[in-house]
Amino acid sequence: MEAVMLRTAVAGTSFSAQTRVQCRQVSQPRCCSVRLRVVATSASAREATVDVALESELGVSYEELRDKLAAGEWEAADAETRRLLCVMAGEGAVKRKWVYFSEVQFIPEADLKTVDGLWRAYSNQKFGYSVQRRIWKNVDENFTQFFRKVGWTRPLGGESRSDTYKKFPLEFSWDVEDPTPTGHLPLTNALRGTQLLEKLLNHPAFAFADEENKMIMPETVDLSTNGLLQSLKPKQQQPPQQEQQQQSSQPNGASSGVILPGDMTIDYGF
């Protein structure tokens, strides 16, 4: 078992320190030292360390994905991620070059965590499936709003209030820097429905994102005296009939604004 010395620094300060990272040994040792990244999104940003072991229950090598992410080759890393998903899903997915949504449940947690961990490590926690899951949960699993948040759709324009998917690959962003939205990568094709994406985001491998979400302050919080007092007031109960009418008028999921042909067999390739 090998210990790797890595140097870390907090953004905006002169503090630096050496950190000893212990690499775990797995049944098929595929461990690497991943350069540390620091997430500095606020004045209270703290030092963050990342230790990604290339762990696989299937004996899959994730070194190529690691190398492409380390080099900042985001489009190539996105394509490699789709290839790896097919490998993880089994021989049938490899032959057809796309994944059935029903195959996702059989992908081991360790393998998906490795892929997600690499994306997070090399993007300052900006990209990855767990990042996408957190965004999706924050919009109540509404895919229309999710697609807008991660920048996968654009308005149709004119008098239409609907959205359409961006054209692959020219209209997508292949850069970690702003204005690329958080959660923009890796891509999942939802042209024929959202079931594959839903299965991926709901995979147990990314459940830890829900706990992280509880620790993040919402973007729109009124911290003024009036705002805090309003939040302490008990909510008024709506009459059942009025509540039912409001629910029926609210959009839910991908059917409210994004043009989707329907949730049938999912073609994963772009």
**CATH for 76:** 1.10.10.1770
Q: Does residue 27 lie in a domain region?
A: no
In sequence order, which residues have a C-beta less than 8 Å from that of residue 146 and are 6 or more positions away? 132, 135, 136, 139
Mean local confidence (pLDDT), 173-177: 97
Instruction: Classify 144 as helix, strand or coil.
Output: helix
Q: Does residue 232 lie in a domain region?
A: no
Are 267 and 168 a contacting pair, CB within 8 Å? no
Are 61 and 30 a contacting pair, CB within 8 Å? yes
Torsion of CA 198, 147, 100, 208, to 10 degrees: -40
pLDDT score for 235 = 52
Residue 165, exposed/middle/buried by CB under 10 A (0-12, 13-18, 19+)? Answer: middle
pLDDT score for 224 = 52
Task: Indicate the pLDDT class of residue 230, thresholds 50, 70 and 90.
Answer: low
Mean local confidence (pLDDT), 225-240: 54
Kind and range of the H or E run holding 232 = helix 225-232
Buried b (16+ CB within 10 A) or exposed e, 190-226: bebbbbbbbbbbbbebbeebeeeeeeeeeeeeeeeee
Stretch among 129-133, 210-214, 244-248 having the lowest mean pLDDT: 244-248
Q: Does residue 144 lie in a domain region?
A: yes
Mean local confidence (pLDDT), 232-257: 47
Q: Does residue 82 lie in a domain region?
A: yes
pLDDT score for 134 = 98
Q: Is the pLDDT assigned to residue 28 strictly greater than 80?
A: no
- Structural domain including 138 reads 56-217
Residue 36 sits at φ, ψ, to 5 deg, of -75, 145
**Which residue matches tokens 């947690």?**
109
Q: Does residue 19 lie in a domain region?
A: no
Q: Does residue 48 lie in a domain region?
A: no
Mean local confidence (pLDDT), 175-200: 96
Compute the Cα dihedral for 162, 159, 179, 267 and give only its sign. positive
Task: Indicate the pLDDT class of residue 226, thresholds 50, 70 and 90.
Answer: low
Q: Read off the pLDDT of residues 53-98 as tens digits, 9 standing for 90 and up.
A: 999 999 999 999 999 999 999 999 999 999 999 999 999 999 999 9
Q: Does residue 229 lie in a domain region?
A: no
pLDDT score for 160 = 82
CA gap 43, 14 in Å, rounded: 15
Q: In the chain, how many domains are there?
A: 1
Mean local confidence (pLDDT), 146-152: 98
CA atoms within 13 A on the CB side of 58: 20
Task: Indicate the pLDDT class of residue 191, thresholds 50, 70 and 90.
Answer: confident
Q: Read off the pLDDT of residues 124-136 as tens digits, 9 standing for 90 and up.
A: 999 999 999 999 9
Are 106 and 130 a contacting pair, CB within 8 Å? no
Q: Does residue 4 lie in a domain region?
A: no
Give percent above pLDDT 70 in the chain: 60
Mean local confidence (pLDDT), 153-163: 88
CA gap 258, 69 in Å, rounded: 30
